[in-house]
Structure 1
Amino acid sequence: MAPVILVTFAGRQKRMEILTRYIHSAMDAGIIDEWHVWDFTRSQQDHEWVTREFGPVRYMGSAAPYQSNGSIAPNQALRLGATITNDLHLAIVPNDGSDDYFELVVGGWSNSHSVLRKLPLSQLRSFDRNDVPALWSRPTPGILSPGTANQIVINVDAAGVPSLHVNNVAIGHWPELDLSAGASVMVRGGWGADLELGNVRSRIQRFVGNPNEQMPYWQAYDYYAKRLKIFSDSIFLKCDDDIVYMDLEKLSDFIEFRRTNPKYIVVSANVVNNGVCAHWQQVAGSIPVGVGHFERPPGGFGGSLWQSAERANELHDYFLQTNDKHLPLPSKVIEWTERQSINFIAWLGKDLVHMALPKGDDERALTVDLPLLLDRPTAIYSDFTVSHLSFGPQEQGLALDRLIDAYDELMRNALAA
């Protein structure tokens, strides 16, 4: 059976904690095989939470900062499988209380040289290395292979002296360094080189995108599209980090519909607080007129719900008081040819051949541009319901704390049932 991979662009802690419980339950039930959590956080506090909460780092963009990756000690080596073309950076942070760390750059300068530097800990988050002298340097032409996961081994002998081997070649040995107290090791790429760590086998994996991009999500689609051969047999789910309700009993049906209906480029869940879904929910009589009027958003984008905290509050409150937590659409499947919000969608791995998306608006690309190019519609699947907490324009005035508490209680009751 095709593996099911959930992709989530993370992550705001308070909102995502509810989703996390649902996904762990789905994974325990064998419905979801892997969870790929892409760190596109915008605050240091959220980044630290995502780092603590979600598996080992699998992939890092070339501009991503150092990420922890293990430790070394006398007679305790660290082994990595690193897919990277140049500029593999290894930060060795001694456990002796020093204010400095050692930085190994393997295959720098277009994969021609390697160096060792000593730097203050304050520079761990900085990429500026101007005027920093090297403790050690040597030519290492072609040391990193672009065609394999490079085998990196950092060893510390009984006397605390570290050494480095790359693809079974001895690169350096530094008797002047004393790591007898051990050290933690951090990794990153750099200078246009993304880094993938092939020895990560956890079912939940972290992917760290390049920071400070206004619309960074293309990085995730680009990653999967470049690995089409690996993922072509998979089924992908993608959900926002603020999905606060999920009908787990219907998730398998949604996945099966996605698998057996290849004509749709993407299939959306039936989403609470989604302009297009709300319109069809009301057409079907699932949302009474007294809750508000939910018009068909022009071209599928924006609309009064998207921009109104008051309307979102009313819709969430109505949904939370329903008995069956389901707002059916007029039919089991709504075929759609306009834009729609991609709060919870699914696509087939084989369609990654079309999904090396340009930088910019991934939602428009997936629900407008690609369907038009390929002459394949999108669809909304009525029987699988999720609830999406908020859109950006709804933030001012949304009863966030009250709603999060209510959805948290709903989640606990649903998972305990």
Structure 2
Amino acid sequence: MAPVILVTFAGRQKRMEILTRYVHSAMDAGIIDEWHVWDFTRSQEDHEWVTREFGPVRFMGSDAPYQSKGSVAPNQPLRLSATITNDLHIAIIPNGGGDDYFELVVGGWNNSHSALRKLPRSGLTHFDRDGVPALWMRATPGILSPGTPNQIVLNVDAAGVPSLHVNNVAIGSWSELDISAGASIMVRGGWGASLELGNVRSRIQRFVGNPNEHMPYWQAYHFYASRLQAFSDSIFLKCDDDIVYMDLEKLSDFIEFRRTNPKYVIVSANVVNNGVCAHWQQLAGSIPEAVGHFERPPGGFGGSLWQSAARANELHDYFLQTNSKHLPLPSKVIEWQERQSINFIAWLGKDLVHMALPKGDDERALTVDLPDLLNRPTAIYSDFTVSHLSFGPQEQGLALDHLIGAYDELMRSSIAA
């Protein structure tokens, strides 16, 4: 059976903790096989939470900062499988405190040289190396292969002397370094080279995107599209980090519908607080006029719900008070030809051949431009309900604490049941 991979662009801790419980429950039930959490956080506090909460790092953009990757000690080497074209950076941070660390650059200078530097620990947080002399450097032409994962072994002998092998080639050994007490290891790419780490077995994996990009999500689609052979048999789910309700009993049905209906480019869940879904929910009589009028958003984008915290509050409160926790659409499947919000969607791995999205608006690309190019519609699946907390314009005036508290209570009762 095709593996099911959930992709989430993370992450705001206060909003994402509820989703985390639902996903863990779905994974425990065998409905979801892997969770890929992409760190597109905007605050250091959220970045630290994502780093602590989610699995080992698998991928880092070329501008991503150092990430922890194990340790070394005498006769306890570190082994890495690293897919990277140039500029693999390895930080060796000796145990026992101290103000400095050592930085190995493998395949720097356009994959022509490797070097060792000594830096203050503040150097772990930035890329500026101007004026920093190398303790050691040698020519290593073509040391990193672009055609296969590079096998990296950092060893420390009984005397505390580190040495490095890359693809079974001895790169260097540094007797002036004393790592007899062991060291923590961090890694990153750099200078245009992203880094993918192999041998990551965890079902929850962390992907660190390049920071400070306005619309960074193309990085995730490009990652999967450029690894089509590995992912073409998978089924992908993508959800926002602020999905605060998920009907776990219907999730398998949604996945099966996605698997057996390949004509749709993407399939959306039936989303609470989504302008297009709210329009169809009201047409079906699932949302009374007393809750508000939910018009068809022009071209599927924006609209009065998207703009209004008050309307979002009213809709969430209405949904929370329903017994069924389901707002049916007029039919089981709504075929759709316009834009829609991609709060919770699914696509087939074989369609990744079309999904190396350019930088920019991934929502428009997936729901307007790509369906038009392929002459294939999108769809909304009525029987699987999720609730999406908020859009950006709704933030001012959203009853955040009230809603998170209510959805947290619903989650606990839903999972316990």
Deviation at 1:306, TM superposition (A): 0.1
**AA at the equivalent of 1:393:** P
Separation (CA, whole Å) in 1 of partners of 2:396 and 2:47: 23
Written as runs of structure 1 = structure 2, the 5 A alignment for 1:120-159 is 120-159=120-159
Quote the residue 2:82 is aligned against: 82
1:96 CA drift (Å)? 2.0
Structure 2 counterpart SS, 1:386: strand
Q: 1:123: Cα distance to partner? A: 1.2
Aligned-pair CA distance for 1:87: 0.3
- In 2, distance between residues paired with 1:71 and 1:42? 28
Aligned residue for 2:280, secondary structure, equals helix
Matched residue SS, 1:26: helix
- 2:176 corresponds in structure 1 to 176
Task: Give the alignment of 1:304-315 within 5 angstroms.
Answer: 304-315=304-315
TM-score, normalising length: structure 1? 1.00
1:3 — aligned with what? 3
Q: CA deviation at 1:159?
A: 1.0
The corresponding residue for 1:271 is 271
Are 1:70 and 2:66 counterparts? no
Task: Tell me the alpha carbon deviations over residues 305-327 of structure 1, each in whole angstroms, 9 at most, x when there is no partner.
Answer: 00000000000000000001000
- 1:7-86 to structure 2, matched below 5 A, reads 7-86=7-86
Q: Partner letter of residue 195 of structure 2?
A: L
1:194 and 2:173 are equivalent in the alignment: no
1:176 is displaced (CA, Å) by 0.4
Taking every aligned residue pair, what percent have the same amino acid on both sides?
A: 88
In the alignment, is residue 320 of structure 1 matched against residue 320 of structure 2? yes
The offset of 1:353, in angstroms, is 0.6
CA distance in structure 1 between the partners assigned to 2:123 and 2:148 by the alignment: 30
For 2:414, give the aligned amino acid: A
Q: How does 1:205-354 map to 2 (within 5 A)?
A: 205-354=205-354
Return the letter of the residue paired with 2:260: T
Distance apart, 1:201 and its partner CA: 1.2
Structure-2 residue corresponding to 1:381: 381
Secondary structure of the 2:372 match is helix
- Deviation string 1:48-74 (CA, Å, 9 cap, x unpaired) is 000001000000000000000000111
How far apart, in 2, do the equivalents of 1:241 and 1:173 lie?
45
Distance 2:228 2:151 in 1: 24
CA distance in 2, matches of 1:102, 1:179: 11
Amino acid aligned to 1:412: R
RMSD: 0.5
Q: Deviations over 1:169-216 (max 9, x none)?
A: 111101100111111000000011110001111110000000000000
SS at the partner of 2:142?
A: coil
One-letter amino acid of the structure 2 residue matched with residue 370 of structure 1? L
Deviates more, 1:240-249 or 1:163-172: 163-172
Distance in 2 (CA, whole Å) between partners of 1:154 and 1:257 is 47
In 2: Cα distance, 1:140 partner to 1:308 partner: 59
What is the CA–CA distance in structure 1 between the aligned matches of 2:159 and 2:198, rounded to whole Å?
A: 30
1:403 is aligned to: 403
Give the secondary-structure state (helix, strand or coil) at the position aligned to 1:305: helix
Give CA deviations for 1:329-348 in whole Å, capped at 9, x if unaligned: 00000000000000000000
Paired position in structure 2 for 1:115: 115
Gaps of 5+ in 2: none
Q: Could you list the runs of 4 or more consecutive aligned residues of structure 1 that deviate by over 2 angstroms after TM superposition?
A: none
Distance 1:383 1:123 in 2: 52
Q: Would you say how many aligned residue pairs link Structure 1 and Structure 2?
A: 417
Report Cα offsets for 1:115-159 as digits up to 9, x if no partner: 000000011111011110000000001111111111101111111
Say whether 1:105 aligns with 2:105: yes
Other structure's SS at 1:187 match: strand
SS of 2:287's equivalent in the other structure is: coil
- Runs (5+) with no aligned partner, structure 1: none
Task: Encode CA deviations 1:29-58: one digit per residue, 9 max, x unaligned.
Answer: 000000000000000000000000100000
Residue aligned with 2:371, SS: helix
